[in-house]
Structure 1
Amino acid sequence: MSVENKVAIVTGGASGIGFHYALELLQNGLRAVTLADTDAAKGEEAVAKISNDFGADKVLFVKTDVTVKDQLANAFKQTVEKFGNLDIVINNAGVMVEAIWEKMININLNGTIYSCILAMEEYFPKYKSGDEAVIVNISSTVGLQAVPILPFYSATKHAIIGLSTSLGTPQNYATTKTRIVTICPGPTDTPLLQDLENKAFNERYRALTGAFLKFVGDAGKPQTIDFVPKCMMKAIQEGSNGSIWVVENGEIYEIAPADRKDMKK
Structure 2
Amino acid sequence: MKYMSKVNGGRGGIIINTASITSETPFPTIPIYAATKAAVSHFSRSFGDPLYSGKSGVKVIAINPGLTDTQILKNIADYSLYDPDVKVAFDVMRTKVPTQKVNNMGVGLLQVLEKAESGSVWTIENDQPAKRCLNPA
Could you say which TM-score interval applies, normalised by the shorter chain? 0.7 to 0.9
RMSD: 1.9
Q: Give the alignment's TM-score, normalised by structure 2.
A: 0.87
Asked if 1:157 is matched to 2:37, the reply is: yes
Give, in angstroms, the shift of residue 194 of structure 1: 1.7
1:121 and 1:173 map into 2 onto residues whose CA distance is 12
Structure-2 residue corresponding to 1:247: 124
Q: Could you report, residue by residue, the CA deviation over 1:97-146 in whole angstroms, capped at 9, with x for unpaired residues? A: xxxxxxxxxxxxxxxxxxxxxxx112443343xxx410011110011111
Structure-2 change in CA distance of 1:224 and 1:258 (3 Å) = closer
Structure-2 residue corresponding to 1:102: none
Rg comparison, structure with higher value: 1
1:228 and 1:196 map into 2 onto residues whose CA distance is 19
Q: Which has the higher contact order (CA 8 A, sep 6+)?
A: 2
Asked if 1:234 is matched to 2:111, the reply is: yes
Letter in 1 for 2:28: P
1:197 and 1:255 map into 2 onto residues whose CA distance is 27
Structure-2 change in CA distance of 1:208 and 1:258 (3 Å) = closer
Structure-2 residue corresponding to 1:215: 93
Which stretches in structure 1 are left out of the alignment for 5+ residues? Answer: 1-119, 260-265
2:136 and 2:31 map into 1 onto residues whose CA distance is 22
Aligned length: 134
Give, in angstroms, the shift of residue 257 of structure 1: 2.2
Identity of aligned residues (%): 22
Letter in 2 for 1:154: A
Secondary structure of 2:3 counterpart: helix
Q: Kindly indicate whether the alpha-carbon contact (under 8 Å) linking 2:4 and 2:13 is maintained by their aligned counterparts in 1.
A: no
